[in-house]
Structures are given as structure tokens and as C-alpha cells.
Amino acid sequence: MGLMWTIVGFIAGISILVYLELVKRYHLDLISWTGLIVGELTILFGIAWSVSSVLEGVPRSGSMGAIMFGGLGLIIIILTWRFKIQHFPKSENEIASNSVNSPGEESENSRRNFLKSTSMAAFGWQKIVGSVLGIGAIGTTAYAIKKSSGVILDDVPNAIADDYKRMDNRKVIQTFVHSDKLQEKYKNRVEKWENASIDRMDGFKVKGSYKKYAEGKPKDEVGYTQLEYALAGASWQTSLKGNPVTVTPNYGVNSWDQSQVDKTQYKFKTKQDASDAIKTAAKLFGASKVSITKQDDRWDYDHLYDPINEKDVSWDDFPFKAKTVIVCLIEMDYVAMSTAPTVVTDGTSGQGYSDMIVVTDHLATFIRKLGYHAVASGNDLGLSVAYAVAAGLGEVSRAGWLITRDLGPRVRICKIYTDLDFVEYDKPRDYSITNFCINCKRCADACPSEAISQEDNPTFGPTYEGADDPEYSWNSHAGVLKWHSDSKKCYEFWVENEGSCSSCIASCPYNKPDFWHHDLVDTSNVVVPGPGHTFMREMDIMFGYGKTNDPDAVKKFWKSGRD
């Protein structure tokens, strides 16, 4: 990166010398200066974009950046020269150096003086137009920066219907597929699901199906060999030891046991001190981002179920009145995610789940040792995405998962429930992400099972085929204005794929490594109108981002550990 900024700085320095020479030679007006400077900045931007893209390993984006931005800058400069600068009178110095004039030249000079005075007269309106454009550009940039860091809201950005009902943990796909008892109890749901799957997948049976993707068999296929299955299996180890089925309440590391709570309660001086301490500890334990929100009944499951011991779990037995939920995000690996839908993505998902175990276990212990009650939570107890949105970490996307401002969709979410309420709470924010989803649909196009909604706008309930049959759409969570995926179709693909998938995450334009030019694009998203989002989506594809089913990505992943 250092070399890139040196090149940019060198070119900028040279241009200043060129500009000084132009000042000596010509009387340039505002439009000419604007043309020259905008053209040059566009070229410099193209160079910086190209070098950054090559450094992040996307050479196609590098060449596209050079052609588009560099070419555009060059065209602006050439047009400015051809139609403006060339026709300007030379400066007095330049005229003085040619002081012996012939009679013909005298008349030429008076014509130039006339042109000069005309251009000075025109300077008035140019100044006004230039000032308006300048102020407009500065204002728009300031607005975009402010808006992209989130407009603070009183409640989550999604509208909630009056008849909204809390989600039942038994309806969560992972709970259902891990529970023979629930499948026995809700035979109709199993039957409807299996019947619907006939057209999609040969011989799908719900019972025991999770073993197919959890224990897939290596084959002679890029991304599915013993190497990748070993990676995936290893990455899940800590998660399996902590809580083997992540939706299970009061189990393993997510135990409700509070015997560790210290008798002495640490008193923070201010709420801000308490929040700072919690966030600092969480990051030390491995969280990528942390936010704190109030416990909210709307996001907690109204019925808890333990699919490992096949039993109902009651909130009445929860050991304290939870007042606060600390939401932690764990970043997943960009290069691994780019291999979707191969088993390499299981490596980064599994590592994310394992990190969740460590972060939540350590953070819950930290809070208990401060004398407050705390329970670690993965996908049990409540809706992680909803809590993350409430905590201002991002917005719910078309695909259903969270999109954050900084890390995009490449995160896993975990939580701590505690009675410590002397904290500074974070607020939900509108990042204009849902707005981008309306015109994007890249995840829906990339989804191999067509599970993600293609509806233009969010809806309060599912709209997929069979949505009006409660025995088919039982796993949907109606009552929230969002896009509703058919997660049964997604699950079927995991079984067929003998590994999970993540193609929706990999293809999302918000899924980018941490580079300045991606931040810039994300920032500009918020001021670009709808059709512009469609254009940005197409540019994202043209620049070579968001590919799935790319065997080269697997090779690239296995080299990414090199120094």
C-alpha cells in the first residue's frame, strides 16, 4: 500500500508543476481548472483502485478500475484541453516574450483581449455554478459519510405487525431436524416437507438428514477432498465440545448454572465505564465487534426446546431476570468464504462457531466474576439477527442474515444475557443496507436451491410456494417486514452438498475484505438512488467480485496462509 500512495503522491506532485506552468502560459477559467483537477483526481483514483485490487488478489477489478477510472480521467482532461484551454488567450508574460508584433498580430491581440474580457464577464456565472456544485459535492459527501455510519433509531428499522408472534424454538430448522421427537409429533410437517422436496431433490428424508452435511464423505472433487473435510471437522471441534447443537438452551457452555457469581458486586463509576469494560473484555476474548442492547421479549423464543435431551425448557427456570443482552460478532475468513459452496466454507463457519463458544463462555464468566448473573448463548434463547439489529450492529438482509457496516455479512453472532443493567445501551441504526437489497438480489440469484426471496420489496410473511399452508410454512417467522427465505430448501441443498453452502454470503456485494475503496463504495451506496444500486450490482460482477463455484478460489485459499 505504501508504494501505491508514493506513486499517487509522485503523480500529484508532477501535476502541480504542470499546473504552475499552465498558470504562466494561460488565463484559465473555473471550468478549465475544474476539468483538469477532476480529470487528474479520477486518474489518481483509478491508479489507487487498481493497485489496491491487485493487492487484495482481484486483478480483474484492478484492470477494470484502470480502464474505467483512468480512461474517464484522461477523457475529461483531453476534452478540457481540446475545447477550453487551447482557445484561451496566453498570459501577459507569454505575450511580452513575443513583444515585437506585426500589424496582423496586433489585431489578433485585440481579439484575444476581447475574448479575455468576455471570459471575465462569464466568470460571474461560472463562479456561481462552480460554488453551487462545490457546496453540493461537499454536502453530499458529508451526508453520505454520516448516513453510512448509521442513522440512530428508536426501534429496529423493520416494521413489526400488530399480530406479530414470537418465534418458537421448535420451529427453527436446526432444532427440528435434530429432534426425532419433534418429527414424530409433527408428522404432517415432515410429510409436507418431504413431498415438496420430491421435485427438488431425489429421496430426501428429514430423519437423520443432518448427518449427511455434518459428516460428509470426501470425494475426488475440488473443495470436497479429505483435506477440506479435515479442515471443516477440525474447525468445529471447540463448538462441538461447548454445545454440540447450537440451538440447545441450558446445555454445555450455554448452561444456566450461576454458582460462579461472585458475592461482591463490582460497582462501575459510570454506565460508559461499564460498557467500555464489557466491550474491551469481549474483544480481548476474540469478538470482532460488540454492542449492548436491552433484553426484549419480542426477540426471545417463546418456547424453548432441548433437541439433545428431547425436552422442553421453560423460561420460568431461567436463573435471573435478564435485563441486558450483549451481542458479539465473530468475523469469518474472506478467502475461505470465496470458495462457496465448497466444504472450505464449513471451515470458516465452524471456526466462527468455535470462537463463539470461547467468547461467550469467557465473557459470561467475566460478568459472573464481577458479581452479576450471566448466561452465554449461541443460537438458543433468542433471535441473534434481531438482537444484533437492535444493538445497532447492522440490518437484516434479503438473505435473512445480518449485514454489518464494516464486516458485511461475513459474521457469526453470539450473545450474553445478564442482569447487569448499569450500562450505556447502543441504539439500532439505519445503514441504508435494506435499501440496497431491494435492487440487488445477487444472493437470490446465486442461491443453488432458490431459497431466497426474489420479491422486490420486503413482506410481513413468506411468499414462496406453499407459504399459505401452515403445515409447510411452519418454520417461517411472519410479522416482521423483511424478506422471508424458505430455509427448508436451503437445508436440502446442504444435505445434497454434503457440507453447508454460504453462496449467498460469498456473492453479496457487502462481502469485501477491509480495503479503503470498498469502504468508499459502501459509503456512496447511501446517496445513490435505486437504479444506481442495480448499476453498482452489475459493476460488482464486472469487476470480478462475488463469484461462486470457482475452483481457483479453493487453490487460492490453500495458499493464503503464506507470509
The residue ranges that bind ligand SF4 (CB under 6 A) are: 397-399, 436-437, 440-443, 446-449, 451-452, 485, 490, 493, 501-504, 507-510
Let me know if 392 is exposed, middle or buried by CB neighbors in 10 A (0-12, 13-18, 19+): buried
Q: Least distance from C-beta 142 to ligand SF4, angstroms?
A: 24
Residue closer to ligand SF4, measured from CB, 44 or 501: 501
Q: Least distance from C-beta 273 to ligand SF4, angstroms?
A: 37
Roughly how many angstroms between the first and final C-alpha of the chain, as a whole number? 16
Q: Least distance from C-beta 437 to ligand SF4, angstroms?
A: 3
- Asked if the bond preceding 341 is cis, omega within 30° of 0, the reply is yes
Q: Least distance from C-beta 307 to ligand SF4, angstroms?
A: 21
| SS3 of residue 441 by DSSP | coil
Residue closer to ligand SF4, measured from CB, 33 or 472: 472
Q: Least distance from C-beta 405 to ligand SF4, angstroms?
A: 13
Nearest CA to 94 out of 42, 142, 23 is that of 23
The cell 464468566 sits on which residue? 365
Residue closer to ligand SF4, measured from CB, 175 or 449: 449
Residue closer to ligand SF4, measured from CB, 342 or 502: 502
Q: What are phi and psi of 151, to 5 degrees?
A: -90, 125
Q: Least distance from C-beta 120 to ligand SF4, angstroms?
A: 50
Q: Least distance from C-beta 351 to ligand SF4, angstroms?
A: 17
Could you write out the DSSP letters of every residue in 471-512?
TTSTT--TTBSB----HHHHHHHHHHHTS---HHHHH-TT--
Q: Least distance from C-beta 547 to ligand SF4, angstroms?
A: 13
Asked if 47 and 53 touch (Cβ cutoff 8 Å), the reply is no
Q: Least distance from C-beta 11 to ligand SF4, angstroms?
A: 34
Which residues are bridge partners to 403 per DSSP? 395
Q: Residue 437 has which C-alpha cell? A: 437489497
Residue closer to ligand SF4, measured from CB, 176 or 417: 176
- Taking the alpha carbons of 323, 261, 329, 318 in that order, is the dihedral positive or negative? negative
Residue closer to ligand SF4, measured from CB, 370 or 396: 396
Q: Least distance from C-beta 403 to ligand SF4, angstroms?
A: 6
Residue closer to ligand SF4, measured from CB, 277 or 438: 438
Residue closer to ligand SF4, measured from CB, 35 or 509: 509
CA distance 163 to 158: 15
Q: Least distance from C-beta 74 to ligand SF4, angstroms?
A: 32
Nearest CA to 274 out of 264, 282, 284 is that of 282
DSSP state letter for 68: I
Helix H or strand E segment including 518: helix 516-525
Let me know if 398 is exposed, middle or buried by CB neighbors in 10 A (0-12, 13-18, 19+): buried
Q: Residue 214 has which C-alpha cell? A: 455434518
Residue closer to ligand SF4, measured from CB, 186 or 436: 436
Asked if 347 and 231 touch (Cβ cutoff 8 Å), the reply is yes
Asked if 461 and 467 touch (Cβ cutoff 8 Å), the reply is yes
Tell how many helices (H) and how many strands (E) occur in the chain. 23, 10
Residue closer to ligand SF4, measured from CB, 362 or 398: 398
Residue closer to ligand SF4, measured from CB, 414 or 451: 451
Contacts of 95 (CB under 8 A, 6+ apart): 109
Using H for helix, E for strand and C for coil, what is the string for 369-397? HCCCCEEEECCCCECHHHHHHHCCCEEEC
| SS3 of residue 434 by DSSP | helix
CA distance 292 to 378: 16
Q: Least distance from C-beta 506 to ligand SF4, angstroms?
A: 8
Long-range contact set of residues 348-351: C-beta below 8 Å, sequence gap at least 24: 348/235, 349/235, 349/412, 349/500, 349/502, 350/232, 350/233, 350/234, 350/235, 350/236, 350/239, 351/235
Contacts of 271 (CB under 8 A, 6+ apart): 422, 423, 424
Residue closer to ligand SF4, measured from CB, 84 or 178: 178
